[in-house]
Amino acid sequence: MFKQTLLCLFLSSLFITNGCAELKDAGKTIGHTTQDVTTAIGHASRDAAKSVKAELDKGEWENGRMSHNLFHSSIWKNF
């Protein structure tokens, strides 16, 4: 009876350890995927902001003046 109990405890500990390893691996996979997605979103938004800035800068210099000057902006026309 003692040998059967030890064998049962040993096999149970193996299954529990294996289950923990699988959960750890799944968590690691989810974490890395989340990190990759977040990085991709951050890089895309940075690139979009740079592109918009480049277009705005190009338009400002084509007009021959800085069009976002606050004193001449359409924002102040209502005041």
pLDDT tens for each residue of 28-51: 999 999 999 999 999 999 999 999
- Cα 30 from chain centre: 12
Angle at 24 between CA 20 and CA 29, to 5 degrees: 150
Q: Give 56's contacts (C-beta < 8 A, 6+ positions apart).
A: 68
Is residue 47, in this structure, part of any structural domain at all? Answer: yes
C-alpha distances in Å from residue 47, one per residue of 10, 40, 50: 55, 10, 5
Is residue 19, in this structure, part of any structural domain at all? Answer: no
pTM of the model: 0.52
pLDDT at 15 over 90: no
Is residue 40, in this structure, part of any structural domain at all? Answer: yes
* Contact status, residue 67 vs residue 60, Cβ threshold 8 Å: yes
Is residue 67, in this structure, part of any structural domain at all? Answer: yes
Is residue 7, in this structure, part of any structural domain at all? Answer: no
> What is the tally of structural domains in the chain?
1
Is residue 33, in this structure, part of any structural domain at all? Answer: yes
Is residue 3, in this structure, part of any structural domain at all? Answer: no
Is residue 15, in this structure, part of any structural domain at all? Answer: no
Domain, as residue range, for 51: 27-78
